[in-house]
A and B are shown apart, each in its own frame.
Chain A
């Protein structure tokens, strides 16, 4: 994120960068937790971040369990202590892509800055 701020010349208070970082943290921690929790025997998680034409794109490739049935859009009740991560990411990104191909999960996070 520091690199993104440097390349875009935007400060710590820039709303779009804050939204992208927030979504990135949510998806990234989910990927790491689920891959770790299920003892993935595949290669380590792959992560890539691109900045092109004012659009930030992050991708994760992991060998954890399939998660295509666990991508809620709705924010849970205010009293709920969990379940907001994916909903936040879906709300703030221009695109949140998820694909399961064989034993591999592909995630794509896109935000126009």
Chain B
């Protein structure tokens, strides 16, 4: 009947055999389950005796560069509800809410969120004290379905220290749960919400384990389920930071609690961030579990915005620190040589029909570059800026690493702003703005904005001979199994400055701190050649912002720093001493 087929003549034998063999595998397995082991499974199915008990993985620790522990975990008690054991639901929840001091409506919501799996505990209140625990233990019979478990709780050993960069953890929100679906998060899981805790979440988190337990009809555990081994807890990986705890402490103390501001210290040879402080600050321990509404409101409505990391999330007018960019551009475009002098400063400069003032009303007289930087003469830089021109100036500034985020390993880094022609055209309309904006830009006022981190990296690049490193906070990720992911320095770019011109800039920076007329003398350290630049940013809303950037020692730089104090006043008298203290502490200990 099938003669004359043009196709293969091997017949249907081989496919049929394959199909039959594989079906036999299914049939044998079916026989094993439904006949041989039927009685075991029937027992398990009655009252459904399998319980799944999740075991939280401890998050990885966070250590400083020398191995000092900054963040770890400690055991704490959490009160949970097993929904399927809950009897007289309303009454029990009423009682529980009174003991725990939690809104009963909140408990009902939490329990109903988890309706589909009635056999997994729902966490109601975390980190309860022993007194509450004792009360619950005492009323055990009145609280059917209420249990307590031990779970690891995040502990920030140094309190407020480095709070902004360490970050916070908190209970996963329904939206986060949706985006992380399939990655072993569940209701009540902790997740990194800010800072390093958020940035390195996949590494820190580890992997929750699960025990499958057989329970008796009344809910008592009989023992582990033979059918499937438990999934082991895998602790999260540890982060080894670039931060130096001792230096961080010095920086935290140097920047007073009462001001707003930031300090960033960087190793200029690698881009490793040695210390990072933002003021005002907060205690990340408050966030370790569920944040009480009142704490939230207090932190959110605080006019100082303590949750903001001012080192990377806020940008400020750079003031006179930006004169280094103007000076660099002038040298590099050959607008000036190091001995070029402009019209002498008499305390103000007339451009068009407007007077632009120098910060020193009595004037500086005639100055060459080193002197103009050391004394921060505005009039000198007005004239220099005009000769460079807006387009060249903003291009040069962008090449120095300003205007875009540097890619620090923290969330929400801002890039600041370097305005160019297109920017002014957009803002004021074509030709509707005066080239006079350049006068303000070249002394770091006006529209340009930088972050303290960018300033620190710029300073580090000047210090190390022109290499802009990508700043980073985590130098190594170490898993519990001993596997390690070290991180090597990355180069973002190079300062557009020749070696000779860089030397001139360095010399003028040295003069700022070392010269008798220098504005940054208060950053000086005995026996060490410190280089730096002050800045005093005019602020239309109140007192000036005080800046200081610097590095030391001059010939073999080991630390670069940027200090910003909001509404601080004069950079030389407010920011410079802070920078001096921090650099001194670092160099005194050998700088490692």
- Tell whether A and B belong to one assembly: no
Interface of A toward B, CB cutoff 8 Å: none
